[in-house]
Structure 1
């Protein structure tokens, strides 16, 4: 029983930080693959979150062939958790390869931002925002479904 209480108390910060409908997301600032700072703002309508390489590959398959600025035109931003990637691999290979992408990849190098938004490891979490407040969430397991959802997203 003592261990169960300890476990529950240790998980409370994670549960409390989950993105719930009606909750205002805590602003963050992270660097992208070009070392440019991105700050979550009230204009962002969709936050795409990938926890690992599988999720990032889904985003790449969904938007990789789209023209530069495709996500930005939809007020969408993609955040990738790269904390588990070895530093040497990310610095020498992964991040330089990302610089060729036609879209911005906001990099969560220590996993603190992505950890706020729980979900399946191998899926892409879609957080719908209205002026910084969570309006809904979905998870995508296929690039086709994600690409369709992005196409259907009205452009401002």
Structure 2
């Protein structure tokens, strides 16, 4: 899969401390010039649907499961790989210092109608919801959040980068 970017968050040295790797899968679904995204009220940002790949799952199996759980998408077809975004972030628990996240992004197709999402408790508490959005509006929104909000999460840099690459390469 094509390497899109490797980001090391400020304040960490990847050569010091302990780290672990988390594999994630992210879906790119585009219909009628809109992209399917997750909006998180807590962080005021848009992100691609997806999440962690469970032990024993392939990346594609994790992608399909996460896309279904977060959005209610049905009849999911993985069309092609888009790219890999890697990041190193500080870890917030005592067992490790650094988390290395590998986000595998795939272009997917889904049925026209979304079913019921099955968000995890923390996703519900963070105010996550599924939205079809014009990609340029989502990019502009995330850029405003980066510039003006103190609520932003660590993933907004990744998500804004990916949205820009998708707009450039796929639309």
TM-score by length of 1: 0.26
Q: Specify which structure has the higher proportion of strand.
A: 2
The answer to which structure has the higher helix fraction is 1
| TM-score, normalised relative to structure 2 | 0.24
